[in-house]
Structure 1
Amino acid sequence: MQQSLRMINWAGFLGTVLRFVWTIRNIVAIFLLLCTVAYLMFSETLEQRRFMLTKFSEAQQSISVAEGKLKAAGDLAFRVPSKTGASIAPEAIVALETATRDLRTTLVAAPAPTTSIERSRAVYASTLADVLGSINLYEPGGDGERTNDVLFSLVSLEDPAKAYKKAATDYQTSVWKSFWAAF
Protein backbone atom coordinates (compact mmCIF):
# COMPACT_ATOMS: atom_id res chain seq x y z
CA MET A 1 0.00 0.00 0.00
CA GLN A 2 2.75 2.33 0.91
CA GLN A 3 4.47 1.66 -2.39
CA SER A 4 1.35 2.34 -4.42
CA LEU A 5 0.96 5.70 -2.65
CA ARG A 6 4.50 6.58 -3.61
CA MET A 7 3.74 5.72 -7.21
CA ILE A 8 0.62 7.84 -7.11
CA ASN A 9 2.58 10.75 -5.61
CA TRP A 10 5.31 10.33 -8.21
CA ALA A 11 2.78 10.13 -11.03
CA GLY A 12 1.01 13.18 -9.66
CA PHE A 13 4.25 15.12 -9.51
CA LEU A 14 5.19 14.06 -13.03
CA GLY A 15 1.74 15.02 -14.29
CA THR A 16 2.02 18.42 -12.63
CA VAL A 17 5.43 19.06 -14.24
CA LEU A 18 4.13 18.03 -17.66
CA ARG A 19 1.08 20.28 -17.32
CA PHE A 20 3.33 23.16 -16.27
CA VAL A 21 5.65 22.65 -19.25
CA TRP A 22 2.65 22.36 -21.56
CA THR A 23 1.28 25.60 -20.15
CA ILE A 24 4.46 27.60 -20.66
CA ARG A 25 5.39 26.02 -23.99
CA ASN A 26 4.78 29.29 -25.85
CA ILE A 27 7.03 31.21 -23.49
CA VAL A 28 9.75 28.56 -23.87
CA ALA A 29 9.38 28.68 -27.67
CA ILE A 30 9.70 32.47 -27.67
CA PHE A 31 12.75 32.29 -25.38
CA LEU A 32 14.41 29.68 -27.59
CA LEU A 33 13.62 31.74 -30.69
CA LEU A 34 15.17 34.84 -29.11
CA CYS A 35 18.26 32.84 -28.12
CA THR A 36 18.59 31.55 -31.69
CA VAL A 37 18.26 35.04 -33.19
CA ALA A 38 20.81 36.44 -30.71
CA TYR A 39 23.25 33.64 -31.55
CA LEU A 40 22.84 34.18 -35.29
CA MET A 41 23.35 37.94 -34.93
CA PHE A 42 26.43 37.41 -32.78
CA SER A 43 27.99 34.88 -35.13
CA GLU A 44 27.23 37.03 -38.19
CA THR A 45 28.71 40.07 -36.46
CA LEU A 46 31.87 38.12 -35.68
CA GLU A 47 32.16 37.05 -39.30
CA GLN A 48 31.58 40.64 -40.45
CA ARG A 49 34.25 41.82 -37.99
CA ARG A 50 36.76 39.34 -39.40
CA PHE A 51 35.97 40.42 -42.95
CA MET A 52 36.25 44.14 -42.09
CA LEU A 53 39.55 43.65 -40.28
CA THR A 54 40.97 41.71 -43.22
CA LYS A 55 39.95 44.38 -45.74
CA PHE A 56 41.18 47.16 -43.45
CA SER A 57 44.54 45.43 -42.98
CA GLU A 58 44.95 45.07 -46.74
CA ALA A 59 44.17 48.77 -47.19
CA GLN A 60 46.67 49.69 -44.46
CA GLN A 61 49.36 47.69 -46.22
CA SER A 62 48.76 49.52 -49.49
CA ILE A 63 48.78 52.86 -47.64
CA SER A 64 52.08 51.92 -46.00
CA VAL A 65 53.57 51.11 -49.41
CA ALA A 66 52.36 54.45 -50.80
CA GLU A 67 53.77 56.27 -47.76
CA GLY A 68 57.10 54.55 -48.32
CA LYS A 69 57.12 55.74 -51.93
CA LEU A 70 56.32 59.29 -50.80
CA LYS A 71 59.12 59.19 -48.25
CA ALA A 72 61.57 57.91 -50.87
CA ALA A 73 60.46 60.60 -53.34
CA GLY A 74 60.80 63.28 -50.65
CA ASP A 75 64.26 62.06 -49.68
CA LEU A 76 65.30 62.07 -53.32
CA ALA A 77 63.84 65.54 -53.93
CA PHE A 78 65.56 67.14 -50.95
CA ARG A 79 68.85 65.26 -50.97
CA VAL A 80 70.65 67.83 -53.17
CA PRO A 81 68.76 71.05 -52.22
CA SER A 82 69.31 70.50 -48.51
CA LYS A 83 73.07 70.29 -49.03
CA THR A 84 73.66 72.94 -51.67
CA GLY A 85 70.63 75.23 -51.43
CA ALA A 86 69.74 74.55 -55.08
CA SER A 87 66.20 74.07 -56.26
CA ILE A 88 64.59 70.66 -56.64
CA ALA A 89 65.26 68.82 -59.89
CA PRO A 90 62.25 68.65 -62.25
CA GLU A 91 62.33 64.82 -62.28
CA ALA A 92 62.32 64.74 -58.48
CA ILE A 93 59.37 67.12 -58.21
CA VAL A 94 57.41 65.01 -60.71
CA ALA A 95 58.19 61.86 -58.71
CA LEU A 96 57.15 63.66 -55.51
CA GLU A 97 53.89 64.80 -57.08
CA THR A 98 53.13 61.30 -58.38
CA ALA A 99 53.87 59.71 -55.00
CA THR A 100 51.68 62.27 -53.21
CA ARG A 101 48.79 61.70 -55.62
CA ASP A 102 49.10 57.93 -55.27
CA LEU A 103 49.08 58.15 -51.48
CA ARG A 104 46.07 60.46 -51.46
CA THR A 105 44.17 58.21 -53.88
CA THR A 106 44.98 55.10 -51.84
CA LEU A 107 44.08 56.85 -48.59
CA VAL A 108 40.73 58.16 -49.83
CA ALA A 109 39.83 54.73 -51.26
CA ALA A 110 40.59 52.97 -47.96
CA PRO A 111 37.66 51.99 -45.75
CA ALA A 112 36.92 54.06 -42.64
CA PRO A 113 34.96 51.80 -40.28
CA THR A 114 34.96 54.24 -37.33
CA THR A 115 34.40 57.97 -37.07
CA SER A 116 37.85 58.57 -35.58
CA ILE A 117 39.45 56.90 -38.61
CA GLU A 118 37.19 58.85 -40.93
CA ARG A 119 38.08 62.18 -39.32
CA SER A 120 41.80 61.53 -39.20
CA ARG A 121 41.72 60.26 -42.79
CA ALA A 122 39.98 63.47 -43.89
CA VAL A 123 42.62 65.61 -42.19
CA TYR A 124 45.41 63.50 -43.66
CA ALA A 125 43.90 63.71 -47.18
CA SER A 126 43.45 67.47 -46.79
CA THR A 127 47.09 67.86 -45.79
CA LEU A 128 48.12 65.77 -48.80
CA ALA A 129 46.06 68.13 -50.96
CA ASP A 130 47.99 71.05 -49.42
CA VAL A 131 51.24 69.28 -50.32
CA LEU A 132 50.01 68.89 -53.89
CA GLY A 133 49.15 72.60 -53.92
CA SER A 134 52.65 73.58 -52.82
CA ILE A 135 54.13 71.22 -55.41
CA ASN A 136 51.94 72.77 -58.13
CA LEU A 137 53.12 76.25 -57.13
CA TYR A 138 56.75 75.18 -57.22
CA GLU A 139 58.96 76.72 -59.87
CA PRO A 140 62.57 75.63 -60.35
CA GLY A 141 65.20 78.27 -59.62
CA GLY A 142 64.26 81.48 -57.90
CA ASP A 143 65.06 82.39 -54.35
CA GLY A 144 64.23 79.00 -52.78
CA GLU A 145 61.01 80.17 -51.14
CA ARG A 146 58.93 77.65 -53.09
CA THR A 147 61.39 74.90 -52.20
CA ASN A 148 60.88 75.76 -48.54
CA ASP A 149 57.10 75.74 -49.03
CA VAL A 150 57.26 72.20 -50.43
CA LEU A 151 59.52 71.10 -47.59
CA PHE A 152 57.30 72.65 -44.91
CA SER A 153 54.18 71.12 -46.45
CA LEU A 154 55.87 67.71 -46.38
CA VAL A 155 56.84 68.24 -42.74
CA SER A 156 53.24 69.18 -41.94
CA LEU A 157 52.19 65.66 -43.00
CA GLU A 158 53.75 64.15 -39.90
CA ASP A 159 51.01 64.94 -37.36
CA PRO A 160 48.03 63.93 -39.54
CA ALA A 161 49.83 60.72 -40.52
CA LYS A 162 50.46 59.90 -36.85
CA ALA A 163 46.84 60.61 -35.95
CA TYR A 164 45.60 58.37 -38.76
CA LYS A 165 47.99 55.55 -37.82
CA LYS A 166 46.93 55.83 -34.17
CA ALA A 167 43.23 55.65 -35.06
CA ALA A 168 43.89 52.68 -37.37
CA THR A 169 45.95 50.87 -34.73
CA ASP A 170 43.27 51.49 -32.09
CA TYR A 171 40.67 49.99 -34.41
CA GLN A 172 42.79 46.96 -35.26
CA THR A 173 43.81 46.20 -31.67
CA SER A 174 40.55 46.98 -29.85
CA VAL A 175 38.08 44.13 -29.91
CA TRP A 176 35.20 46.33 -28.83
CA LYS A 177 35.80 49.04 -31.43
CA SER A 178 36.03 46.54 -34.26
CA PHE A 179 33.07 44.55 -32.91
CA TRP A 180 30.92 47.68 -32.59
CA ALA A 181 31.93 48.80 -36.10
CA ALA A 182 30.91 45.41 -37.45
CA PHE A 183 27.59 45.52 -35.62
Structure 2
Amino acid sequence: MKHDAVTPSFRQALCERLPKLRRYACNLAGTPHDADDLLQVAAERALARAAQWDPDQPLDPWLYRIVRNAWIDEVRARRRGQALFADAELGEQVGVASVESHAVRLSVEAAMARLPEEQRSAIALVLVEGLAYREAAQALEIPVGTLTSRLARGREALQALLGDESGEVQ
Protein backbone atom coordinates (compact mmCIF):
# COMPACT_ATOMS: atom_id res chain seq x y z
CA MET A 1 0.00 0.00 0.00
CA LYS A 2 1.25 3.43 -0.87
CA HIS A 3 1.77 5.80 2.02
CA ASP A 4 1.72 8.84 -0.28
CA ALA A 5 -2.08 8.42 -0.47
CA VAL A 6 -2.22 9.98 3.00
CA THR A 7 -1.90 13.58 1.94
CA PRO A 8 -1.87 16.49 4.37
CA SER A 9 -5.34 17.45 3.14
CA PHE A 10 -6.63 13.91 3.83
CA ARG A 11 -5.14 14.01 7.34
CA GLN A 12 -6.70 17.41 7.99
CA ALA A 13 -10.09 16.26 6.69
CA LEU A 14 -9.90 13.21 8.95
CA CYS A 15 -8.94 15.33 11.97
CA GLU A 16 -11.81 17.75 11.32
CA ARG A 17 -14.27 14.85 11.39
CA LEU A 18 -12.94 13.19 14.56
CA PRO A 19 -15.48 14.84 16.91
CA LYS A 20 -18.40 13.60 14.77
CA LEU A 21 -16.84 10.16 14.41
CA ARG A 22 -16.32 9.97 18.18
CA ARG A 23 -19.97 10.84 18.82
CA TYR A 24 -20.98 8.05 16.44
CA ALA A 25 -18.55 5.67 18.13
CA CYS A 26 -20.07 6.59 21.52
CA ASN A 27 -23.51 5.76 20.22
CA LEU A 28 -22.32 2.40 18.97
CA ALA A 29 -20.09 1.44 21.89
CA GLY A 30 -22.08 2.93 24.73
CA THR A 31 -19.16 4.22 26.81
CA PRO A 32 -16.63 6.99 26.17
CA HIS A 33 -13.75 4.62 26.91
CA ASP A 34 -14.91 2.04 24.36
CA ALA A 35 -15.67 4.81 21.89
CA ASP A 36 -12.14 6.18 22.17
CA ASP A 37 -10.70 2.73 21.52
CA LEU A 38 -13.05 2.25 18.58
CA LEU A 39 -12.19 5.67 17.16
CA GLN A 40 -8.47 4.94 17.39
CA VAL A 41 -8.90 1.68 15.47
CA ALA A 42 -11.05 3.41 12.87
CA ALA A 43 -8.61 6.30 12.41
CA GLU A 44 -5.73 3.87 11.96
CA ARG A 45 -7.73 1.95 9.37
CA ALA A 46 -8.68 5.13 7.53
CA LEU A 47 -5.06 6.23 7.34
CA ALA A 48 -3.89 2.78 6.28
CA ARG A 49 -6.59 2.57 3.59
CA ALA A 50 -6.55 6.16 2.39
CA ALA A 51 -5.73 5.00 -1.13
CA GLN A 52 -9.05 3.10 -1.23
CA TRP A 53 -11.13 6.26 -0.77
CA ASP A 54 -12.47 7.72 -4.00
CA PRO A 55 -12.01 11.53 -3.78
CA ASP A 56 -15.05 11.94 -6.04
CA GLN A 57 -17.19 10.47 -3.23
CA PRO A 58 -18.02 12.15 0.09
CA LEU A 59 -15.54 11.34 2.84
CA ASP A 60 -18.04 11.18 5.73
CA PRO A 61 -19.97 8.04 4.69
CA TRP A 62 -16.67 6.27 4.00
CA LEU A 63 -15.36 7.14 7.47
CA TYR A 64 -18.63 6.24 9.21
CA ARG A 65 -18.52 2.88 7.44
CA ILE A 66 -15.00 2.29 8.77
CA VAL A 67 -16.15 3.08 12.32
CA ARG A 68 -19.16 0.79 11.95
CA ASN A 69 -17.08 -2.05 10.54
CA ALA A 70 -14.55 -1.66 13.35
CA TRP A 71 -17.43 -1.90 15.83
CA ILE A 72 -18.76 -5.03 14.14
CA ASP A 73 -15.28 -6.55 14.41
CA GLU A 74 -15.18 -5.65 18.11
CA VAL A 75 -18.60 -7.21 18.77
CA ARG A 76 -17.49 -10.39 17.02
CA ALA A 77 -14.30 -10.47 19.06
CA ARG A 78 -16.28 -10.06 22.28
CA ARG A 79 -18.52 -12.93 21.28
CA ARG A 80 -15.45 -15.11 20.84
CA GLY A 81 -14.71 -14.59 24.50
CA GLN A 82 -11.98 -11.97 24.40
CA ALA A 83 -11.70 -9.50 27.27
CA LEU A 84 -14.56 -7.05 27.67
CA PHE A 85 -13.94 -3.38 28.18
CA ALA A 86 -14.67 -2.05 31.64
CA ASP A 87 -17.56 0.36 32.06
CA ALA A 88 -16.69 4.05 32.23
CA GLU A 89 -17.11 5.78 35.56
CA LEU A 90 -20.56 7.27 35.98
CA GLY A 91 -19.28 10.48 37.54
CA GLU A 92 -17.35 11.59 34.48
CA GLN A 93 -19.59 14.57 33.72
CA VAL A 94 -20.36 15.66 37.31
CA GLY A 95 -20.86 19.40 37.51
CA VAL A 96 -20.98 19.93 33.75
CA ALA A 97 -24.76 20.08 33.37
CA SER A 98 -27.71 20.31 35.67
CA VAL A 99 -28.75 17.15 37.48
CA GLU A 100 -31.98 17.02 35.49
CA SER A 101 -30.33 17.30 32.07
CA HIS A 102 -27.70 14.78 33.17
CA ALA A 103 -30.45 12.34 34.19
CA VAL A 104 -32.20 12.81 30.84
CA ARG A 105 -28.96 12.19 28.97
CA LEU A 106 -28.31 9.04 30.97
CA SER A 107 -31.86 7.83 30.29
CA VAL A 108 -31.48 8.40 26.57
CA GLU A 109 -28.05 6.71 26.53
CA ALA A 110 -29.47 3.72 28.41
CA ALA A 111 -32.40 3.50 26.01
CA MET A 112 -30.09 3.76 22.99
CA ALA A 113 -27.93 0.97 24.41
CA ARG A 114 -30.98 -1.31 24.53
CA LEU A 115 -31.78 -0.85 20.85
CA PRO A 116 -30.61 -3.43 18.34
CA GLU A 117 -27.34 -2.37 16.69
CA GLU A 118 -29.03 -1.80 13.33
CA GLN A 119 -31.49 0.71 14.81
CA ARG A 120 -28.85 2.33 17.04
CA SER A 121 -26.54 2.91 14.05
CA ALA A 122 -29.32 4.42 11.94
CA ILE A 123 -30.44 6.74 14.74
CA ALA A 124 -26.89 7.75 15.57
CA LEU A 125 -26.08 8.72 11.98
CA VAL A 126 -29.33 10.49 11.09
CA LEU A 127 -30.67 11.93 14.34
CA VAL A 128 -27.43 12.51 16.26
CA GLU A 129 -24.91 13.22 13.49
CA GLY A 130 -27.40 14.85 11.11
CA LEU A 131 -26.45 12.88 8.02
CA ALA A 132 -28.86 12.87 5.11
CA TYR A 133 -30.69 9.59 4.62
CA ARG A 134 -28.67 8.86 1.48
CA GLU A 135 -25.33 9.45 3.26
CA ALA A 136 -26.36 7.34 6.25
CA ALA A 137 -27.53 4.55 3.94
CA GLN A 138 -24.17 4.68 2.15
CA ALA A 139 -22.29 4.53 5.44
CA LEU A 140 -24.32 1.52 6.57
CA GLU A 141 -24.25 -0.06 3.09
CA ILE A 142 -28.02 -0.49 2.99
CA PRO A 143 -30.81 0.86 0.76
CA VAL A 144 -32.45 4.14 1.81
CA GLY A 145 -35.77 2.31 2.35
CA THR A 146 -34.13 -0.07 4.82
CA LEU A 147 -32.61 2.89 6.65
CA THR A 148 -36.02 4.56 6.82
CA SER A 149 -37.67 1.50 8.34
CA ARG A 150 -34.84 1.06 10.87
CA LEU A 151 -35.23 4.71 11.88
CA ALA A 152 -38.99 4.32 12.29
CA ARG A 153 -38.64 1.16 14.40
CA GLY A 154 -35.81 2.73 16.40
CA ARG A 155 -37.81 5.88 17.15
CA GLU A 156 -40.78 3.82 18.27
CA ALA A 157 -38.58 1.64 20.47
CA LEU A 158 -36.89 4.70 22.00
CA GLN A 159 -40.24 6.29 22.76
CA ALA A 160 -41.42 3.07 24.36
CA LEU A 161 -38.24 2.73 26.41
CA LEU A 162 -38.22 6.34 27.55
CA GLY A 163 -41.93 6.29 28.37
CA ASP A 164 -41.96 2.89 30.10
CA GLU A 165 -40.17 2.62 33.43
CA SER A 166 -39.85 -1.15 33.15
CA GLY A 167 -37.46 -0.71 30.20
CA GLU A 168 -39.22 -3.33 28.09
CA VAL A 169 -39.44 -2.69 24.35
CA GLN A 170 -43.02 -3.20 23.22
Give the alignment's TM-score, normalised by structure 2: 0.30
State the structure with more CA Rg.
1
Give the alignment's TM-score, normalised by structure 1: 0.29
